[in-house]
Amino acid sequence: MIHYKSKAEIELMRANSLLVCDTLAVVAAAIKPGVTTLQLDKIAETFIKDNQATASFKGYHGFPFACCISVNDAVVHGFPTNAELVSGDVISVDVGVYKNGFHGDSAYTFGIGEIGEDIKKLMRVTKESLYKGIEKATIGNRTGDIAYAIQEYTEKLHGYGVVRDLVGHGLGRSLHEEPQVPNFGKRGTGAKLKEGLVIAIEPMINLGTKDVYYDKDGWTIRTADGRVAAHYEHDVCIQKGKADILSSVTAMEAAENANVELFSDY
Ligand code: MG
Ligand code: MG
């Protein structure tokens, strides 16, 4: 069943989406070589609690952490670990918060220090593909129109692998609601987009093959060929005219710009 949100509910969700983005920015400010992803997870969890919210992912189907932190060949659902970050790492951070009865959910990929031009391009194209999808998130379109736009841009135009095993989703009182929002598919298929629908659009794009596998931790999803993946996610509300993007990259881009020595410009 698809749940449509009232104007008041959308504003509660916007606040949560922006809290997620502020959390991502706080994490970004702590990223540096030598820091562990477990330390970043603790920083995020503390910030979320300090803002009278709870971490949506912690305990979700048994997930033990506040954040999914996926480094290099990890695509999504990465377990924070004791491994220290090094220059050249690509780190995708996915955070959810729950407050006032609703969830926010957003993800962002950072490049640390010197990374290859091919990887910078993957990050740029993945981020751009998110907006290609959002352009299609209009009343009367279908989820397949979003999917097609993302796949055309990333896979057909740039030759990247679009992960098939994981998809975007409706968002609201539950972290994952109907409808599913894939990053691949046919135009004119899938659920029809109506006013008040909130969806998380989240391209998960691999530099090489689309194929992935589960790490032995049972959660972390890695590329089958060991090459890098990127992941950006916005919460978007369908409304008259253009979609309303509830989350914002402003805080994360500000964090990147505040440390141009550290974060790769892509
Ligand atoms: Mg997410
Ligand atoms: Mg999501």
Ligand with the closest atom to the CA of 67: 1
Ligand 1 centroid–CA 259 distance in Å is 24
Whole-number Å distance, alpha carbon 188 to ligand 2 midpoint, is 23
Residue 241, domain member (yes or no): yes
CA 175–ligand 1 middle distance (angstroms)? 9
Pairing verdict, β 54-55 and 204-206: unpaired
Per-residue confidence (pLDDT) for residue 264, from 0 to 100:
86
User: Domain holding 67: CATH number?
Assistant: 3.90.230.10
Å from CA of 130 to ligand 1 middle: 13
Looking at residue 83, its pLDDT comes to 96
| Residues in the 5 Å CB sphere of ion ligand 1 | 94, 105, 107, 233
In-domain check, residue 68: yes
What's the total number of domains in the chain?
1
Taking the centre of ligand 2 as the mean of its atom positions, its distance from the CA of residue 112, in whole angstroms, is: 23
% the chain with pLDDT above 70: 100
- Rounded to the nearest angstrom, the distance between the alpha carbon of 202 and the centre of ligand 1 is 7
Tell me the whole-structure pTM to 2 decimals. Answer: 0.98
Burial of 38-70, coded b for 16+ CB within 10 Å and e otherwise, reads bbbbbbbbebbeeeebbbbbbeeeebebbbbbb
Integer angstrom CA distances of residue 45 from 49, 83, 148:
6, 19, 35
Nearest listed ligand to the Cα of residue 96: 1
Query: pLDDT by residue (tens digit) across 33-79?
Result: 999 999 999 999 999 999 999 999 999 999 999 999 999 999 999 99
Using the predicted structure, report yes or no on whether residue 238 has a pLDDT greater than 90. Answer: yes
pLDDT tens digits along 92-147:
999 999 999 999 999 999 999 999 999 999 999 999 999 999 999 999 999 999 99
Give the pLDDT of residue 121. 98
Q: Is 113 helix (H, G, I), strand (E, B) or coil?
A: coil
pLDDT, tens only, 21-35:
999 999 999 999 999
* Structural domain span for residue 143: 7-264
SS (H, E, C) 164-225: CCCCEEECCCCCCEEEEECCCCCCCCCCECCCCCEEEECCEEECCCCCEEECCCCCCEEECC
The pLDDT tens digits of the residues spanning 159-193 come to: 999 999 999 999 999 999 999 999 999 999 999 99
CA of 88 to the centre of ligand 2 (A): 26
pLDDT of residue 75: 98
Ligand nearest to the CA of 201: 2
* pLDDT averaged over every residue in the chain: 97
Question: Cα-atom radius of gyration of the chain, to the nearest Å?
Answer: 17
Nearest bound ligand to CA 174?
2
In a domain, 1, yes or no: no
